[in-house]
Chains A and B, each alone.
Chain A
Amino acid sequence: MLNLVTGLLLALVFVLWLFFFKVRQNEIALVTTFGKPSGPPIDQPGAYRKWPWPIQKVHIFDKRIQNLEDKLDEQQTSDRKILDCMLYVGWQIKDPAAFYPKFASSSLTDPEAESIAQAERVLQQMARSAKKDVFGSHPFSDIISTDSSQFKFEAVEREILARMQSTIVANNYGIELKYLGIKKLAIPESSTQKVFDSMKADRAQLVTAITAQGEHEAAIIRQRASSDSQRLIAQAEADAKTIRGQGELMAASYLSVFQQNPELAKFLLELNALSTSINKQTVLILDRDTEPFPLLKADQK
C-alpha cells in the first residue's frame, strides 16, 4: 500500500513536470513544436499544458525591462575633442518569436540566459556605433557647457536612442528600447594631467587677482588717508595764518600810541632788542670808552 501511494505520488509529480509548465508574472514564454514556434507568445502568468520534450520545448524569457550598460569608451566630437562616455540602456523583449531565432543559443545549460547575453552583446555594439556617430556630429559645447542655450544633452541622448531603435526595428529583433541615457562622462587619461594644470593655473590666477585687489584697495585707503591728512593740515595752517594776521591787525592798532614821541619809541625798541639779544652765551669785548666804563680811566676823577 505504501509503495503504491509513493509510486502514485511520484508518477503524479513526473506527469505534472512533463506535461505542464508555469509562466510567472515577470516572464514571457515561447513554445516551440519540433523547433518551430507554435502559437503566440504567452505573457500572461499561470500554468499551461505542453507536450513533453522532444515534441515541444518551452523557452521562458524575462519580460521585464533589462538594464544594459556599455563600456566607457572614447568618442570624438565634431570639434575634435575627445570624451569618454558610458550609456545605460533599457530594453525589453516584445516578440519572443522574432527574438529567439535571432539570438538562439546552442548552450545546453541555460539557452534563454545565453540568448539574452547575446542580445546584450549586439546592443552594446550598436550603442557604441550610435554613440560614435552622434558624438561625431555634435560639438563639445552641445554636451558640456554652462550656457543653457547651447546645452543639448538630452537631444544627444534622443539621437542615439533613435539610431539604435531604427536599426532594431529595421532588422526585426523582437525587442524594444525603453530608455537610454548617458551614465558617465570622463576625459581620457592623457588629458587628465593637462586639466589638472589648467585648474591649477586658474586658481593661481585667482590668487593673484585677489591679492592684487587687496593691495589696490589698501593703497587707495592709505592714499585717501594721506590726502585727507594733508588737507586737514593745510587748512589748519591757513587758519593759523589768518589768526596770526588778526593778531597783527590788533597789534597794529596800538602803534598810534608810539607816534606821540617816535624818537623815544625807537630808542626803547633798540634797548629791547639789545636786551633780548644778549644771553649767557654772549661774549663782550669792550674797550675803556664804552659807557659806563670811561669812569675806570685813571684820569677820570
Chain B
Amino acid sequence: MERNAARNALVNLLVLLAAGVAGFVASRYARSYSGLVSGVFMALGVLVSAVSWFQMRLLERERLEKLEFDELTKSAASSALFNANETEVFPARRSREQFERFFIPIFAVILFIVETGGGVWLSMVLQKVTAEAVLQPLVCLGVFGMLFLVLFMLGRFSTNLGRAEEYRLLRPSATWVLLNAYLCLFVLAGIGVTWFGVPKVDWYVGRVEAVLLVLVGVETLVNLTLELYRPRVKGKVERPIYESRLVSLLGQPEGLITTAAHTLDYQFGFKVSETWFYRLFARWLPWLVLAQAAILVLSTSIVFVDPGEQAILERVGRFVEVLQPGAHFKFPWPIDRAFRYAADKIQTVEVGFVPDGADPSTRVAVFWSVRHAKNDENFIVAKQDASTLTNEDAGARPLPVDLLTVGIPVQFQITNLQQWVYNNRDPDKLLEGIAYHEVSRYFVNADIDQVLSSSLGAAAEALRNRIQAQADQHELGVKIVFLGLEDIHPLVEVAPDYENVVSSLNTSKAMILQARSDAINTNMIAEVVALKTVANAQADRLRQETNAFTQAELFTNQLPAYLAAPSVYKKRMYLETFSQALANTRTYFLLSTNIKPILILNQEPKINSSLTDISIPAPTVRTN
C-alpha cells in the first residue's frame, strides 16, 4: 500500500507537470492571464508533490530497513562482540530524520518566498497590463476543461486515499492537485464569461489567483512560525510544514469545519473541536455567513451624503430625487442606487495654458518675458487691417493676426444636478468647449491693443455672461461664478518688444518734461533780461535828465562869472581842468621846439597793469 501511495504521489507529480505545461502553452496562445497564473499554481504543486513523494520514499526505505533489522535480530541474537550505535545501524532512518529536520524547513522557507514573491510580482504585472479579449476562447475552454476533469478525478482519488493516517504524506500533493482542478474550473468560468463579452473577467480571475498565492505563502510562513511553539506530544505524528491547510480547504471546501477543527486540535495539542463553543460555532457558521451577507446588502439601504455633496437616487434605473447632505434611507442595492457628486464644490476649467504646478506662494513675480506655464496655447487675435484684406492678392500678404498667451480660469458650481448628470455624457468637457469657444470668438473679433488695454473687468464680465448664456442654452445646470482675465499677455518671444513700448512712452514723457523745464528757464531768463533792459533805460533817462538839469543850473551860475571876466574865467577853467588831468597821467616834456604837443589817449578797455597801477595796502603794525 505504501508503494501504491508513493506511486500515486509520483502520478500526481507527473500529471501536474503535464497539466502545467499544457495549461501554460494554451494560456500563452490564447492570452489568458488567469490561465498563466494557474500555471504557477501547477508548478508549485509539482514541487510539493516531488518533495512529498521523496519523503514517502524515505519513509518506505526506513520501513524496509526496520523490517530487515528485525529479521536480523531474530536470526542472530547477540552474536556480535559490540553493540553498534543506532545511527550506524539505521542509516535510512537517519536520512529521513535529517531530511525532515533540515530540508523540510528550508523547503518551506523557499516555498514561502516563491509563493509570496510570485504572488506580489504577478499582481504588479497584472496591474500594468490592460485587459484584452481572449484569443481562441474555445481552444482554451477545451484544454482547461480537460485538465479540470483529469485533475479533479485524480485529486479526489488521492484525497480519499490520503485520509488514512499511514498515507498522510499523500495529502499535500493530493490537495494541490484538487486545488489546481478547481482553479482550472475557475479559469474556465472566467474565459467563458469573457467569451460572452466581458474581457476584464479573465484579468480579474488572474488577480484573484495572484492574491490567493500570496495568502498561501503567508499561511506557509504562519505554519513555520506556529511549528516552533507547537507542544510536542509523544506518539503524535507530525504534520509536514509544507502541507497547506488553506490549499486543502480550497481543495475541499466542504471540509471547512473539519479542517478548522483538525488545525486547532493539532496546534493546541488537545481536542478543541470537542468543546461546546466550537460545536455551536460549527453548527451555526453557515447561517451566520448568510446573515452577514444579508446585513451587508441591507447596509446599502442607508446612504450618507457628505457636506458639499449631492446624490442622485435611482430606483431600478429611474430617477427619483436629488439627495441633499445627510443620512437617507433607500431600498437596498440593486433596487435603489445613489450616485454622489461634489455639487457645491467650486470647480475650475482652465482655458489656455496649464500652470507649471509650482506653489504660487513661492513665485515672487510673474513676468511676460519669462515662461511660467507647462504648455502655452496661442490664441489668435485679429488685426485692425484684417478687414481690408478681401481682394485676391491678399493671399500674398502675411496673416493679419496677432498671437496672445492666455490663462483664463473659469470657475463654476453645479446648481442643477439632474441637468448636469442626465443631459450630457461629458458635461465638464462640454463646458470646456463652450469656454474655449467664447474666448476664441472674443479674441478673433478684437484688436490686440483693445484686448490688452481695455477694461479687463468689463471684458471678463461680458465673457462670463456669454459662457453662462451658452451653458443655460445647453441646460448644463451650472453657474459660472468667476472668470479671470488676469493672465493675458503677448507671447514670451515678443514680450520684450511690448515692454519697449512702455519704455518709449516714458522716454517721450521725459523729453516733454525736459523741454518744459527748458522753456521755463528760457522764459525766466528773458523776463530778467527784459526787466534789466527797461531798468537800465529808466536809469539812463534819469541820469540824462539830471545831468541836463545840473548842467543847466551850473551854466546859469557860471554865466555871471564869465560875464564879469570872460578871458580870465576861461583861462582859469582851462588851467584847473588841465592840472587835474595831469595829476594822474604820464607826462613827457620835449625841449625841442619844432614839434606840436601830442596827446596819446589810450582807450583800451583792459590795460596790463604795471607796478605804478598797483595800490599798496597800508602797512599793518605787528605787536609782539
CB-based nearest A residue for B440? A185
- Considering only residues 235-260 of chain A, those with a C-beta below 8 Å from chain B are 235-237, 239-244, 246-248, 250-255, 257-258, 260
Contacts of A284 in B (CB 8 A): 582, 585-588, 597-600
B555 and A264 contact, CB distance less than 8 A: yes
Cβ–Cβ < 8 Å partners of B222 in chain A: none
Binds A, one of B113-121, B170-178, B539-547: B539-547
Selected contact of B540 from candidates A207, A244, A253, CB within 8 Å? A244
| Residue B4 lies at the interface, judged by CB distance under 8 Å to chain A | no
Q: CB < 8 Å: which of B512, B531, B563 contacts A214?
A: B512
Chain A residues contacting B592 (CB-CB under 8 Å) are 287
Is B197 in contact with chain A by the CB < 8 A criterion? yes
Cβ-defined contact, A218 with B514, below 8 A: yes
Residues of A within 8 A of B316 (CB): 22, 45-47
Flag whether A233 is at the interface (Cβ < 8 A). Answer: yes
Do B445 and A290 touch (CB < 8 A)? no
B426 near A: Cβ within 8 Å?
yes
1/0 per residue, CB under 8 A from A, across B372-399: the answer is: 0000011110111011011110110011
Any chain A CB within 8 A of the CB of B434? yes
Q: In chain B, what residue has the closest Cβ to A1?
A: B287
A281 CB contact (under 8 Å) in B474, B542, B555, B607 = B607
B601 in contact with A277 (CB, 8 Å): yes
Residues in A whose Cβ lies below 8 Å from that of B424: 64-65, 67, 90
B67 close to A (CB within 8 Å):
no
Asked if A111 is at the interface of the complex by the 8 Å CB criterion, the answer is yes
- Asked if residues A214 and B509 are in contact (CB atoms below 8 Å), the reply is yes
Minimal beta-carbon separation of B25 from chain A (angstroms) = 23
Do the beta carbons of B290 and A210 come within 8 Å of each other? no
User: B390 contacts which chain A residues (CB < 8 A)?
Assistant: 79, 139, 141
How close is B336's CB to chain A, nearest CB, in angstroms? 12
Question: How many angstroms between the C-alpha atoms of A98 and B498 in the bound complex?
Answer: 57
Select the stretch in B87-95, B342-350, B520-528 that faces chain A. B520-528
Give the shortest distance, in Å, between B311 (CB) and chain A (any CB). Answer: 14
Nearest-CB distance from A288 to chain B (Å)? 7
* B384 & A67 in contact (Cβ 8 Å cutoff): no
User: Is the beta-carbon distance between B445 and A148 smaller than 8 angstroms?
Assistant: yes
A45-B319, A264-B562 given; A254·B429 CB < 8 A: no
B616 touches A (CB below 8 Å): no
Interface size class of A (residues with CB under 8 A): 35 or more
Residues of B within 8 A of A23 (CB): 317
CB contacts between A and B, total, < 8 Å: 403
The answer to whether B425 and A62 have CB atoms under 8 Å apart is yes
Closest to B425 in A: A64
Contacts of B392 in A (CB 8 A): 79
* Complex Cα gap A196–B400 (Å): 11
Which residues of B554-602 have CB atoms within 8 Å of chain A's CB atoms?
Answer: 555-556, 558-559, 562-563, 566, 570, 573-575, 577-578, 580-582, 584-593, 595-602
Instruction: Please report the total number of B residues contacting A with Cβ < 8 Å.
Output: 141
- Flag B208-242 by CB within 8 Å of A: 1 or 0 each: 00000000000000000000000000000000000
In the complex, which of the residues A253, A280, A288 contacts B585, with contact meaning CB atoms closer than 8 Å? Answer: A280
Q: Which residues of B contact A288 (CB under 8 A)?
A: 589-591, 593
Contacts of B21 on A, CB cut-off 8 Å? none
- Taking a contact as CB atoms under 8 Å apart, the answer to whether B541 and A246 are in contact is yes
B155 to chain A, nearest CB (A): 23
B536 touches A5 (CB 8 A): no
User: Chain B 330-346, CB within 8 Å of chain A: the 1/0 string?
Assistant: 00001000000000000
Residues of A contacting B522 with CB < 8 Å? 222, 225-226, 228-229
* A282 lies within 8 A of chain B by Cβ: yes
A130 to B477, CA, bound (A): 31
**Interface status of B160 (Cβ within 8 A of chain A):** no
Decide if B585 touches A187 in the complex (CB within 8 Å). Answer: no
CA–CA, A22 and B315, complex, Å: 10
* A179 surroundings in chain B (CB, below 8 A): 474
B578 lies within 8 A of A203 (CB): no
- Residues 66-87 of A, flagged 1 when their CB comes within 8 A of B and 0 if not, give 1101000000000111110000
List the one stretch of A32-40, A159-167, A169-177, A266-274 in contact with chain B: A266-274
When chains A and B are docked, how far (Å) is the Cα of A286 from the Cα of B386? 99
Closest to A64 in B: B425
Q: Flag A280-301 by CB within 8 Å of B: 1 or 0 each.
A: 1111111111111100100000
* Residues in A whose Cβ lies below 8 Å from that of B563: 261
* Interfacial chain B residues near A230, Cβ < 8 Å: 526
Are A207 and B525 also in contact (CB < 8 A) when A47-B316, A67-B426, A247-B541 are?
no
Chain A residues near B578: list those with CB within 8 A. 274, 291-292
Q: For the complex, is A129 an interface residue (Cβ under 8 Å from B)?
A: no
Chain A residues with CB under 8 Å of B334's CB are 22
Check A144–B386 contact: CB distance below 8 A: yes
Q: Are A27 and B317 neighbours in the complex by a CB distance under 8 Å?
A: yes
Tell me the bound Cα distance from A6 to B402 in angstroms. Answer: 73
A49 CB-CB contact with B under 8 Å = no
Q: Knowing A88-B437, A229-B526, A283-B602 touch, does A146 contact B577 (C-beta < 8 A)?
A: no
State whether the Cβ of A211 lies closer than 8 Å to any Cβ in chain B: yes
Q: How far apart sit A198 and B403, CA to CA, in the bound complex (Å)? A: 10
Cβ contact within 8 Å between A267 and B570:
yes
Q: Is the pair B536, A240 in contact by a Cβ cutoff of 8 Å?
A: yes
> Taking the nearest CB of chain A, how far is it from the CB of B219, in angstroms?
27
B457 at interface by CB-CB < 8 Å: no
**A186 CB contacts on chain B under 8 angstroms:** 378, 380
Asked whether, in the complex, the Cβ of B533 is within 8 Å of the Cβ of A237, the reply is yes
State whether B601 touches A282 (Cβ < 8 A).
Answer: yes
Chain B residues contacting A144 (CB-CB under 8 Å) are: 380, 382, 386, 400-401, 444
State the Cβ distance, A167 to closest chain B Cβ, in Å.
22
**5 A-B pairs with the lowest CB-CB distances in the bound complex, closest first:** A214-B508, A229-B526, A247-B541, A240-B537, A225-B519
Given A44-B318, A260-B556, A264-B558, 17 extra CB contacts under 8 A:
A64-B424, A67-B425, A108-B197, A139-B389, A141-B387, A141-B389, A145-B444, A146-B383, A183-B437, A187-B399, A196-B494, A215-B508, A247-B545, A267-B570, A268-B555, A283-B586, A284-B599
Taking Cβ atoms with an 8 Å cutoff, the residues of A that contact B are: 2, 5-6, 22-27, 44-47, 53, 62, 64-67, 69, 79-83, 88, 90, 107-111, 139-141, 143-148, 150-151, 153, 179, 181-187, 191-192, 194-196, 198-200, 202-204, 206-207, 210-211, 213-215, 217-222, 224-226, 228-230, 232-233, 235-237, 239-244, 246-248, 250-255, 257-258, 260-261, 264-265, 267-268, 271, 274-275, 277-293, 296
- 26 A-B contact pairs sorted by A residue (CB < 8 Å): A66-B425, A67-B429, A69-B429, A79-B392, A90-B474, A139-B390, A146-B382, A153-B444, A187-B378, A194-B398, A195-B403, A199-B494, A210-B505, A214-B510, A222-B515, A222-B518, A225-B520, A229-B529, A232-B529, A239-B533, A247-B545, A257-B552, A280-B585, A280-B613, A284-B598, A287-B597
